[in-house]
Structure 1
Amino acid sequence: MLSPSATSTLAAATHGSGQGSALVGLSGELAATAHTIAQAAVVALIVTGVAAFYLLTCLVWPFGKCRRCHGEGKFKSPLGSAYRHCGRCRGSGLRLRLGRHVVNHIRATRGAGTNTVSKGNKK
């Protein structure tokens, strides 16, 4: 059996003394902060990758099915067998994807930003 003085010495050696425990607590907080920052960076990287993949997909396949007519381009009349064209897609059955709208906006903004008049030739 250990004496009380030996027990306190073991506790101080294994759990740290007053000054060492403050450093252990600080390093634990830094490790937790670094772990949280690393998780946020991984999530941001995944979200960026998914967005880039979606925009690439919209470059290859810019059109999707019209949501109103489900890609058919027409509606059957309620009385009989007559059809009418879908007003939203104008009978094509297609719609421009949201990502393609973003790509078109980026292209238009970049094209509008180019300067056709050089700085030396201003009139």
Structure 2
Amino acid sequence: MKKPTPIDLRRYAGMLGGAREFLRVWATKDGPTTCFINPVPIGADPFALGIALVDVVRHGARAYAQATGISEAEAEARIWEGLDAERGNPTDPGHQLDSEDAPDSDDDGIISYLPNKDIH
């Protein structure tokens, strides 16, 4: 498999300040989405992830509007339609890696599980 190519964020370093990454998402054409989630930076309450995901929807709508020429409102409505469709009938139930399947690393990389990390 080819190594994933991350989005180059170097020019945005100044606006990121002391922020820490908590989510990476990859999609395959007509296939599943793979999410790497580290809840430590946003806190123990899953409510914070909900707030962040709504922010993602709004930023996504702006990105789609700029990329495709549709309005932000139309893009946001379509994103919500997709979220509602997936929520009502999941196409990918997701999976959880067992700790023995996870790569050894010193970073906080987390894939659908929290190995021996306390976020309280």
Q: 1 or 2, which has the higher helix percentage?
A: 1
TM-score range, shorter chain: under 0.3
Q: TM-score, normalising length from structure 2? A: 0.22
Q: TM-score, normalising length from structure 1? A: 0.22
The structure whose Rg is larger is: 1
More relative contact order in 1 or in 2 (CA 8 Å, sep 6+)? 2
